[in-house]
Structure 1
Amino acid sequence: MLHLLRRKPRFPIPILNFQTLNPLHVPNFSSQSSAKPPEYEMPSVTWGVIQGRKERLVSRVIISDYLKTIGVVPDELEPLELPSTVDVMRERVEFLHRLGLSVDDLNAYPLILACSVRKNVIPVLGYLEKIGIPRAKLGEFVRNYPQVLHASVVVELVPVVKFLRGLDVERHDIPYVLQKYPELLGFKLEGTMSTSVAYLVSIGVSPRDIGPMVTQFPYLLGMRVGTKIKPLVDFLLSLGIPKKILARVLEKRTYILGYDLQETVKPNVEALLSFGARKESLPSVIVQYPQILGLPLKAKLSSQQYFFNLKLRIDPDGFARALERMPQIVSLNQNVIMKPIEFLWGRGFSTEDVAKMFVKCPQLAAVRVELMKNSYYFCKSEMKRSMEELVEFPEYFTYSLESRIKPRYRVLASKGISCSLGWFLNCSDQRFEERMRGEYIDADTPGPSFVMGGKLEMPGSELVSEDEDEEDGDSEVLYRRTVSL
């Protein structure tokens, strides 16, 4: 029995050092039995100093006083777990200051002070820098989206980046997308992001273009289909834009999804109609210049209509026809428009003739005067054409002198053919060659025309068949033609 009593215990019995564990409450065994026992609690998940309730209250008061002294209002931190000592809080504040955040930034989102530097801030910043966000931009990133410091790198951040890569967003574009729309890092993959992508593909957007679309306008991933994207798409389709063409427009001008339907898009469509644009021309206007849906349009239309009336005596109906042919004139600077006008005046064209030319070909407003000058003198000195021909065919100034006008004129001169400017310029290279091989000269015909919602119609030919249109995509040809204007 004695040897059993002398055996050492299997596990060492811990000896509590109360002075170490709780210096503020050292038990006094010599005191009366009425003395209160000391308070002990399990350490928190932050593994701070073990504190009792009173000690925590004292530490919170000290930390709050410190934050007030540097200008931070700590009211929102009341329900949160704070560091056990003011030194830890001071370390957080100094780290955030070095990152580039000011006291105003901390007051804008004081919950950032509840993030541990070692467990939250450093891992998140390290990952953001790893995916390509420059270190110098990290402070701005956190300022724009401070909630990112609460995120788990593995559970929340990495899946979002993988999702973007799965949409064919290029690796080197990931930092640009996230800096432009950092809130993406807080989205759930199975929610709005997946739904918006699926809807765009369903209306004809090519899946391979989703990546570039997201890069151009990442906000589309945060838009709800039912309340934002679909109502806008349905409205544009109701104007007569074919779905295939609208899909191409969205691929190249994705930002129009951000225009507010009720506040901007519908009022702008009504403004176009009120200034004389015909309803059947609205689809062509929008496809040529989608940005027109988001402009302060009524004011711009008023200004430009007054300008053309003042300078060229173009009436409202003439301005509306010019607007239909080139809706970009609503955004052209009036000083820029005056340069080709003054050039034509200087060559002897009357105000009435210049007005007629601009209504028929408003693209003149965007042509450089140097190019107009070269084309004009070639027309007068080499081709011996009259000014009346230029008034009847002002599109002459929009063709390249070196690549189209001169080569085709030389062919005409070698064959001794005399024709109008439009006959040899307003046709494709293939059509021009056919005309040169022909035994007779056919009459002048207008260029290709298109009625939105219908088929591509070539002069002198039948409508394109349904089968050809379905497979080859005349809508894409139309889109390239109209946008190139």
Structure 2
Amino acid sequence: MAAALRKTQQLRSTLCKTPKNPIFTTFPKPLQNPKSTPCLQQQKPYSTKSSKFPEYEMPSVTWGVIQGRKEKLVSRVIICDYLKSMGIIPDELEELELPSTVDVMRERVEFLQKIGITIDDMNEYPLMLGCSVRKNIIPVLGYLEKIGIPRARMGEFVKNYPQCLHASVVVELVPVVRFLRGLDVEKQDLGYVLMKYPELLGFKLEGTMSTSVAYLVSIGVNPRDIGPMITQYPYILGMRVGTMIKPLVDYLISFGLPKKILCRMFEKRAYILGYNLEETVKPNIDCLLSFGVKKELLASIIAQYPQIIGLPLKAKLSSQQYFFNLKLKIDPDGFARVVEKMPQIVSLNQNLIMKSIDFLLGRGILVEDVAKMVIKCPQLVALQVGLMKNSYYFFKSEIGRPLKELVEFPEYLTYSLESRIKPRYLKLQSKGIRCSLAWFLNCSDQRFEERIKGAYIEAESNGPSFFMGGKLELPGGDIVSEDEEDESDDEILYRRTVSL
């Protein structure tokens, strides 16, 4: 080291001397400060601030002087000893080029610690110590903060994806961000998306990301919904079409689920694409069938409650089946009918269910009749007790019908008292018409007006079959609205699908 310093001083003194050969003599330019000479002017130190990313402090030391082989070995030993003293295992750094002085390595370690990286994190991925603070770390962190990743969570981001420190901002990071923006991911959502799935920064644009998006659009997903889908579930961009997305789509379509409904499910609940076909979806379908659910109704069940194919279903079904059998003596076949009509029942809290059941039992309705009501209209167990009370008291005080009619048509309690039950009942009273609950409630406003204007009362049916989120379907093919006449089966199922 001393020899190198002497050589440097000799070179500097040689350059400062005026050459004796007149051929190389140049005319000096007038100096603004005649008291100073070029040789004596002190060089400006490196700025501790970066002009591009001023928010991060630049290191005060650089890689150091050029060393020979012997000096490099000595410096490497010193740096490794320092890392060991900090609790960092330097074994994986053997093939990595290290700085020439321990001061540079010390500043790297301290910089990483400032942003929240611990010694354990460095041991998990020691290659981050090979990144230059000036050339690698600061440009990357500055760009990440610029696109929306908060500084307070920068350490968490680097922990989850430390490989980003090796990336080139211009060559690797910027193209991925532009790709996301091109898919209509909002600018303010970029940070959220990358925090959720930081590995996106390492994907190739022409690979999995492009093919997964192209396939979803090809089956009918609205291109304008791709951005919101990725914001909600960015893991879509890492899924392979041939092994993950397409097999799931084909399997669900095989049960008669139209692509139109399937795409709508994906648009609103993109995480469904992440359900494992072999480990989760197929076992859940088999579980539904084993509990007595009819295969032809699987499409309707999935359309009403898409999450059912990703739940720990066997445990939930077993628990709810036992509960309904214990409280209402509903047999397995009756429970299967409940699931078919309202699959959300598998996730309902049993305390919530008991509130509705206790209310009905408290009105003097027999347990057997409450069971019949629940099987016919499972939505009863999900209603607010306060709304049920209002509708029930109107039924007893104003309509004045026997409880038998309520047991036969439990759907009465699911209709709005103020917007449907009261107005229609008052019209019937003014016309002097007496009819069943189903006749004046289970129809559209247009059909109701046609009924009360008619000179006759049409034949009544046994009651509707209720599907959560859709219109009531009258048995026997009765028409609820005239628009249904020309609709295909897919369109009817689509219209009756619960609003996702």
1:387 corresponds to 2:406: no
1:459 to 466, 473, 478: 478
For structure 2, the 5+ residue unaligned runs are: 1-19, 27-61, 468-472
CA contact (8 A) 1:163 1:189 kept: yes
- On the 8 A contact 1:209/1:251 being kept in 2, the answer is yes
What SS does structure 2 have at the residue aligned with 1:8? helix
The superposition leaves residues 147-203 of structure 1 with CA deviations (integer Å, 9 ceiling, x where unpaired) of: 111111111111111111111111221111111111111111111011000001111
The size of the alignment, in residue pairs, is 436
CA distance in 2, matches of 1:396, 1:151: 63
Q: Which amino acid aligns with 1:132?
A: G
Q: 1:464 deviation in Å? A: 4.5
* Equivalent position of 1:97 in the other structure: 113
Give 1:344's aligned residue: 360
Assess if the C-alpha contact under 8 Å between 2:275 and 2:281 holds in 1. yes
Q: Which runs of 4+ in 1 moved over 6 A?
A: none
8 Å CA contact 2:484–2:492 kept in 1: the answer is no
2:445 pairs with 1:429:
yes
1:8 to 8, 16, 23: 23
CA distance in 1, matches of 2:25, 2:97: 39
Cα offset, 1:121, TM superposition: 1.1
SS of residue paired to 1:483: coil
Structure 1 Cα separation of the partners of residues 369 and 452 of structure 2: 32
Residue by residue over 1:304-348, the C-alpha shift from the partner in whole angstroms, topping out at 9 and shown as x without a partner, is: 111111110000000000000001111111111111001111000
From 448, 454, 460, the counterpart of 1:444 = 460
| Structure 1 residues 273-313: Cα deviation after superposition (integer angstroms, max 9, x where no partner) | 00000000111111111111111111111111111111100
Letter paired with 1:482: T
Give the conservation status (yes or no) of the 8 Å contact 2:338–2:376. yes
Give the aligned partner of residue 115 of structure 1.
131
Higher mean C-alpha displacement, 122-131 vs 313-322: 122-131
Q: Is the 8 A contact 1:245 1:476 kept in 2?
A: no
- Contact 2:221/2:267 (CA < 8 Å) preserved in 1? yes
- The residue type paired with residue 459 of structure 1 is D
Residues 63, 464 of structure 1: CA spacing in aligned structure 2 closer, same or farther, 3 A cutoff?
farther
Instruction: State the SS of the aligned residue for 2:87.
Output: coil
Amino acid at match of 2:126: P
- AA of the residue aligned to 1:308: F
Q: Match of 1:247?
A: 263
Equivalent residue, structure 2, for 1:292: 308
Partner Cα distance (1:104, 1:399) in 2: 60
> Would you say 1:325 and 2:344 are equivalent positions?
no
Task: Give the structure 2 partner of residue 482 of structure 1.
Answer: 497
TM-score, normalised via structure 1 length: 0.85
Question: Which one of the candidate residues 123, 137, 148 is aligned to 1:132?
Answer: 148
Inter-partner Cα distance in structure 1 for 2:92 and 2:256: 53
Relative to structure 1, the CA distance from residue 80 to residue 476 in structure 2 (aligned partners, 3 Å threshold; closer, same or farther) is farther
* Corresponding residue of 1:33: none
Q: Would the aligned equivalents of 2:189 and 2:231 in 1 still touch at CA under 8 Å? A: yes
Per the TM alignment, residue 463 of structure 1 is displaced from its structure 2 partner at its CA by 6.9
Deviation at 1:437, TM superposition (A): 2.9
Q: Are 1:313 and 2:332 counterparts? A: no
1:39-78, Cα deviation, whole Å (9 max, x unpaired): xxxxxxx864201111111111111111111111111111
Q: 1:225: Cα distance to partner? A: 0.2
Q: Report how far residue 404 of structure 1 moved.
A: 1.6
Q: Deviations over 1:338-396 (max 9, x none)?
A: 11001111000100000001111111111111111111001110111221111111111
The residue identity in structure 2 corresponding to 1:8 is: I
**Which residue in 2 is equivalent to 1:403?**
419
Q: Is the 8 A contact 1:390 1:396 kept in 2?
A: yes
- Listed as ranges, the gaps of 5+ residues in structure 1 are 12-45, 451-455
Residue deviations 1:434-459 (CA, integer Å, cap 9, x gap)? 22333322233555899xxxxx9962
CA distance in 2, matches of 1:371, 1:462: 31
Q: Distance in 1 between matches of 2:136 and 2:214?
A: 34
For the residues of structure 1 that align with 2:25 and 2:205, how far apart are their CA atoms?
53
> Root-mean-square deviation (CA), in Å?
2.2
Q: Distance in 1 between matches of 2:141 and 2:492?
A: 47
Indicate how the Cα distance of structure 1 residues 96 and 6 shifts in structure 2: closer, same or farther if over 3 A, else same.
Answer: closer
